[in-house]
Amino acid sequence: MKITDLTLRTVDMTMKFPFETSVGITDTREILLIEVTDGEYVGYGECVADIDPYYSEETVETAIHIIKDFIIPRLKGASIQHPSDISSLLAPIRRHQMAKGGVDCALWDLYAKQQAKSLSEVLGGTKTEVPVGISIGIQKDVETLIEKINVYVNEGYQKIKIKIKPGFDYEILKQVREAFPAVSIMADANSAFTLQDLELFKKMDTLNLLMIEQPLAHDDIVDHSKLQAAIQTPVCLDESIHSFEDARKAIELGSCKTINIKIGRVGGLFEAKQIHDLCAENNIPVWCGGMFETGIGRAHNVAISSLHNFSIPGDTAPSARYWDKDIIEPEITMSEAGTVAVPTEQGIGVTVDQTHVDSITKRLETFSM
C-alpha cells in the first residue's frame, strides 16, 4: 500500500441533546479524525476516544500522542501489503486500542479505494443492508422514556437499548416491558452494578430482555461468568473486551452470550473481524456498538455490520440521531423498516463534506509518510 501523508484533525461537534449513561453526561465532543492519502485517494478513520478519561483510559490527547510519537514512526518504516498487516505492526504498542483503531480504519478505507472495492466487500461482508437499533440515555422519568420509545418503535428501530444505573433499573424496565410487550428491549449498565446486586438481576431476568450489557466492572470477565451462570438473560460484554484474546477468555469462562463489538475499542477492523469469526465459531451472535461517531465512524460500523454473524441490530442509528449536521454527505439515513443500506461505492462509501469539516476543525497536523 502506497501512503504519502497522514493527517490528524479534530473537529468540535455539539450533540442534539445531552446523553446520560451511568458514567456521565456527553453533550459536546472534540472528535479526532485520521486521514491517510496516497496522493490520489483519501482514507478516513475516526478515533472514538473522548476528551476525558472517565469512560476509557484513552483520550483525544493520548491518542494524538500515541499516533504522532509511536504509530506514525512504525508506519513510516513498514511495507504494508494489506491492511490486515497493521494489527501485527502496531502490536508492540501496548493497548491504546482507540488510537490504533482510528489509524487502522483509515488505512482499510484507503486500501479499499485503491482496490476500487467497497469496505464491506474487502472485509468479506455479505449483507446489502443492516438492521438498526437505538441507544437511549437515562431519562428524567419513566414516562419520558416510554414516550421516546414509542416514537423510536414507530420510526422502525429494531432494537431498543435502555441505559440503566442504580435507581433507574428494574422498576423502569418493568414498566417499559409492560408498555411494549413485544418489542426487542435490552439494558446497558455501563458497569454500574456488582455481584451484590444479584437479586436485582434475577428480577430483571423475568422481563424477557434481549440481553443485559456490561452489568459489572469494565475490566471483568470473572464476575460476569458468575452472573451469567445465575440468570437466563444473555449477558453482553462491551467495555470488558479489548481484543481477540479477551473475547477468547470470556467465551471460555462463559462470561457472556453475545458481544458488542466496537471497532475502536478493539483496535481496528482486523481485530473486530477476528472477534466476529471467533464468536461465529462458538455460535455466539455479535452486534456493532456505537460511540456517538460522526458519519465516518458510522460508515465503518455499517461496513463491519455487513459480516454474517452481526446478527443482532447494532447501535448504528443514522446521522440525524445525534447531529444537526453530520460531516458526510449524503448523511446516513434509516429506512422505515429500520435498516441502513451498506454502501457499494468504493471504501466507506460516503463523501466528507470538506467545507463543513474545515469550518469545525479545531486542530490539524499533517505528517509525510
Ligand X SMILES: O=C(O)CCC(=O)c1ccccc1C(=O)O
Q: Does 20 bind ligand X (CB under 6 A)?
A: no
Q: Does 135 bind ligand X (CB under 6 A)?
A: yes
Q: Does 220 bind ligand X (CB under 6 A)?
A: no
CA distance linking residue 322 with residue 10, whole number of Å? 18
Q: Does 288 bind ligand X (CB under 6 A)?
A: no
Residue 226 annotated as catalytic: no
Which of the residues 100, 159, 161, 262 is marked catalytic?
262
Residues 38-97 that bind ligand X (CB under 6 A): 55
Q: Does 293 bind Mg ion (CB under 5 A)?
A: no
Q: From the list Mg ion, ligand X, none, which binds 211 (C-beta under 5 to 8 Å, kind-based)? A: none
Where does this chain touch ligand X (CB under 6 A) — which range of 123-131, 221-229, 274-282, 287-295? Answer: 287-295
Give the x-and-dash track for 183-202 against ligand X (CB under 6 A): -----x-x------------
Residues 151-190 that bind ligand X (CB under 6 A): 188, 190
Mapping DSSP onto H, E and C, the string for the chain reads: CCCCEEEEEEEEEEEEEEEECCCCEEEEEEEEEEEEECCCCEEEEEECCECCCCCCCCEHHHHHHHHHHHHHHHHHCCCCCCCCHHHHHHCCCCCCHHHHHHHHHHHHHHHHHHCCCEHHHHHCCCCCEEEEEEEECCCCCHHHHHHHHHHHHHHCCCEEEEECECCECHHHHHHHHHHCCCCCEEEECCCCCCHHHHHHHHHHCCCCCCCEECCCCCCCCHHHHHHHHHCCCCEEECCCCCCHHHHHHHHHHCCCCEEEECCCCCCCHHHHHHHHHHHHHCCCCEEECCCCCCHHHHHHHHHHHCCCCCCCCECCCCHHHCCCCCCEECCCCCCCCCEEECCCCCECCCEECHHHHHHHEEEEEEEEC
Give the x-and-dash track for 233-262 against Mg ion (CB under 5 A): -----x------------------------
Q: Is 331 annotated as a binding residue?
A: no
Q: Is 121 annotated as a binding residue?
A: no
Q: Is 109 annotated as a binding residue?
A: no
Q: If binding means CB under 6 A, how many residues of this protein chain bind ligand X?
A: 11
Q: Does 188 bind Mg ion (CB under 5 A)?
A: yes
CB 251, CB 225: distance < 8 Å = no
Q: Does 215 bind ligand X (CB under 6 A)?
A: no
Q: From the list ligand X, Mg ion, none, which binds 271 (C-beta under 5 to 8 Å, kind-based)? A: none
Q: Does 319 bind ligand X (CB under 6 A)?
A: no
Q: Does 338 bind ligand X (CB under 6 A)?
A: no
Candidates 45, 234, 290, 349; binder of ligand X (CB under 6 A) is 290
Which residue has its beta carbon closest to ligand X? Answer: 290
Residue 262 annotated as catalytic: yes
Which of the residues 163, 202, 249, 325 is marked catalytic?
163
Rg (CA), the chain: 20
Candidates 317, 348, 350, 352; binder of ligand X (CB under 6 A) is 317
CB 71, CB 93: distance < 8 Å = yes
Binding site for Mg ion (CB under 5 A): 188, 213, 238
Binding site for ligand X (CB under 6 A): 55, 135, 188, 190, 238, 289-292, 315, 317
Which amino acids are annotated catalytic? 163, 262
